[in-house]
Amino acid sequence: MSDEKKYLIQCDNLVKIYKTKDIEVLALQGLDLNIEEGELMAIVGNSGSGKSTFLNMIGGLDRPTAGKLYVDSKNLFTLTEQELVEYKKNTVGFVWQNNARNLLPYLTALQNIEMPMVFNELKEREERAMDLLRLVGLENKKDSKLSQLSGGEQQRIAIAIALANHPKILLADEPTGSVDVKTGNYILDVFRKVNEEMGVTVIIVTHDVELAKKVNRVVSIRDGKTSSERIMKYSYVDEMENLGSLSETSGSKKPRFQYVQQEYAVLDRAGRVQIPQDLLSQMNLKGNRVRMEYKDGKIIISGEDE
């Protein structure tokens, strides 16, 4: 893998099969995905699409079946059990939707944040824990226990816990799934602050469409493969409008920057592409065959009867 150092996470034809006594489930079917250090991104997809499976494998909670998976230059296929323990302690932090998996109810918020540091034998644990409480805006809740915290506060404490051992990657599985919209927006602001101020790569699995619109990159997974990506782009039209308004007011008015997400379909190694479902619906196809032609530098897809 000659270019593996360019990415913090590199997945190449990743496959995961779950086997039971009577059935095999193909959760990932050749997923290709590269993630750069310092990204703030979301992974979306329907239930059963494979997004949580992908997150669990990055987190070292599940072993891949086939393909290649490198995280922070570590080959997750070849790590020993002890190396995997060290990887989970030092490279990744996890935030779960279920707060019971994040916090111990008999400990205070401060003690909960200190707990991961005990296992890593970090010094000055209380000072580090207080810094993280300030980061998530809850230093006044340091002595509160789980029952004394709201759902949103519990999630913010969970983020602080996940950051305790200085991870390079923060993984969040449906972190806003059990809170209201206002609280969800605040939690996203915390993730953005962690990403910008600490340089931590943040990967969020979510069903929340509004949350997904507010991150820099959105990867959509369908049927265990990367289907499409939405990348935050600067709006050129708005830029020109802003320049015009500046010239009219002799520079007295600050430009209003606006970003939009541009969606791209993703080609797999065989040249195949999944067309987003909303576009297929708009095409109103009567069967499963389409016409394709190359015209003026574009590939045009049309229905069979057109």
From CA 36, how far away is CA 38, in angstroms rounded? 6
> Which band of pLDDT confidence, cut at 50, 70 and 90, is reported for residue 178?
confident
CA atoms within 13 A on the CB side of 263: 13
Largest separation between any pair of C-alpha atoms in the chain:
74
In this structure, the strands spanning 40-44 and 217-222 are parallel
What average pLDDT does range 22-38 have in this prediction?
88
Which amino acid is present at 269?
A: R
> Which band of pLDDT confidence, cut at 50, 70 and 90, is reported for residue 2?
very low
Residues 63-110 pLDDT 10s: 889 999 999 999 999 999 999 999 998 999 999 887 777 889 999 999
Beta bridge partners of 263: 230
Q: Give the pTM.
A: 0.81
For the chain, domain boundaries: 277-306
Residues 106-147 pLDDT 10s: 999 999 999 988 877 777 888 999 999 999 999 999 999 989
The dihedral sign for the CA sequence 270, 219, 49, 15: positive
